[in-house]
Chain A
Amino acid sequence: MSLDIERLKRLAAMDLSPDEEDEVARRLTEVVKYLDRLRSLDLSGVEPMYAAGYDEANYRPDVPSSFDPDEVMRVVPKKKDRYVRAPRMV
């Protein structure tokens, strides 16, 4: 068991303040140590269960919905005309 906090921060896209980093690392280490009990189990031959209790997928017809784009755009914090403003990529 090893916790590479820098790698996890990068993968999760999550900044942590220096104070917070110590606290989050402590909590994560404690929880991961507890979860280690799963590693020692021999579960060969057992099928993983991804979802519980629905046997059939009830797909709706693939038709455009009637959502009003103007109403959806109302919740966008930064926009220009009908475009979402995002930070520069480069």
Chain B
Amino acid sequence: MNTPTLWEAVQEARSDPGYSEELARRLLERIRSVDGELNSFISVNDAAAEQSRSSSGREPLHGLPIAVKDSISTRGIETTAGSRILKGYVPPYDATAVSRLISAGAVVLGKTNMDEFSMGSTGENSAFGPTRNPWDKSRVPGGSSSGSGAAVAAGLALAALGADTGGSVRCPASFTGTFGLRPSYGRVSRYGLIAYASSMDQIGPIARSTRDLALMLSIIAGHDPMDSTSSAAPVQDYMAALNGDVSGWKVAVVKETVGEGIDDRVSRLFWGAVDAISGLGVDVDEISVRWLDESLASYYVVASAEASSNLARYDGIRYGLSPQHSGDWRSYFSRVRGEGFGREVKVRIMLGTYALSAGYFEELYLKALKVRRLVADELSAALSKYRLLLSPTMPTPPPRLGEKTADPLSMYMMDVETIPASLAGLPALSIPVGTVDGLPVGLQALGRRMDEPSLLTLSARFEDEVLKGPAPLAPL
């Protein structure tokens, strides 16, 4: 079966009332036959085809099935955030992004695998087993939205929601050869998103075409009274941005993102893509942005500090894992959390606890927040001169399973390109630019706050003029 893009499916469903149900049925069959190896889904909604049938067919998505990262709450469908501590938890409500998709006619196909509580860049930290990359099953698909990237690339879903804290949409998009968008902080409601680091978490789409990203963003963007950090700024016309022209634009490659530590093969593809962008009539400069070297340390202090606070709610009392233990309240909590959390989550909670504890708060946490300010100011200054900043999305092609797991710093270093946008709350989009040795590579475009239209315009022109069409399915 050749899975269509979301937009192609929308066109088919518009003229054929039975199309969505048939497609949902085919996707469920395909998941059953090939996902045993990929492990891109934690749970599958067996009722998806039936729900497609009951769609009125008049909404923009016509009952088409969409996959959803397992950290995004879905009413009546188990939601675990990839953690044993939430095994069996069935939310009594939908996240706003999900309820907006459902109102637009979408059906939830299933919940996609992920690094536990979004902590990881490889997709190996899930309590439900690692996800594999459909381009090469011995390799990781990137994280933390590993299942969303793998499912879309393998044609198991038309499009998927992911969530991006330090790069968790862009990294799997790069490693699976798909398009992935991290919207500006506040552009999409976080209501119902299981929190990791609240000041950076943001829901975003992964798909095989820019048009699909624009369509998904058009539906999920906008102010939500249930999230006080969601922006009241009007939602722009993202579909119109697809027809924009890039000639005469000024963009810049950030020197610090293409130097030491970048795989030569990634560099070659990246510069080839930059030449192609230049060929679209875009002026490309090279610039330097200070403080980027310190952004990784800043991110891991801030994210871990926020995680240590956010994950304090998992105590085995109100929902999720609730084993029988005797003892007082504190010893019960400690035992449940010891049993329920995986190793990487424990490291990050304890790291955050350390950074916030007496004696380290000013030396580490406050300094990390000050570096965050400097990074954001530097990016803002660069973006006052240039419409977009370009870099590779990931410094390497996807590594083999197990290659990064024993060495936390080596895994954290993978996020060096994606973290600055997260710290500054800026939108960024990963565009697939080709493969090296059969492995996908992505280019990241980073834009001004709320300027998702420029990201979509550049991505659409690249897709049309250079890629000559949507991203191909992985050769399963």
Contact = CB atoms under 8 A, between A and B. Distances in A.
A89 B337 contact: no
Nearest to B89: A75
Task: With a 10 A CB-CB cut-off, give which of A9, A16, A31, A34 has the most chain B CB atoms.
Answer: A31
Interface string B327-361: 11110111101110101001101110111010000
Contact of A13 (B298, B333, B366): B333
A86 B366 contact: no
Contact of A46 (B341, B355, B373): B373
A50 to B, nearest CB: 6
Contacts of B90: 74-75
Interface residues of A, number: 55
Contacts of B329: 86-89
Chain B, interface size category, equals 35 or more
B463 to A, nearest CB: 27
A64 to B, nearest CB: 14
B120 to A, nearest CB: 13
Given A28-B347, A53-B426, A84 B370 contact: no
A37 interface: yes
B271 interface: no
Nearest to B187: A53
A51 B229 contact: yes
A81 B312 CA distance: 26
Given A8-B354, A84-B317, A74 B92 contact: yes
B223 A58 contact: yes
- A contact face: mostly helix, strand, loop, or mixed: loop
Nearest to A11: B353
A5 B297 CA distance: 21
A82 interface: no
B231 A35 contact: no
Contact of A14 (B328, B349, B364): B349
A39 B364 contact: yes
Interface string B226-260: 11111110000000000000000000000000000
Interface stretch (B59-67, B279-287, B318-326): B318-326
A74 B75 CA distance: 12
Task: With a 10 A CB-CB cut-off, give which of A7, A30, A49, A67 has the most chain B CB atoms.
Answer: A49
B373 A47 contact: yes
Given A52-B426, A77-B319, 10 more contacts: A9-B350, A12-B337, A32-B354, A39-B363, A47-B373, A53-B185, A54-B230, A60-B226, A75-B92, A87-B329
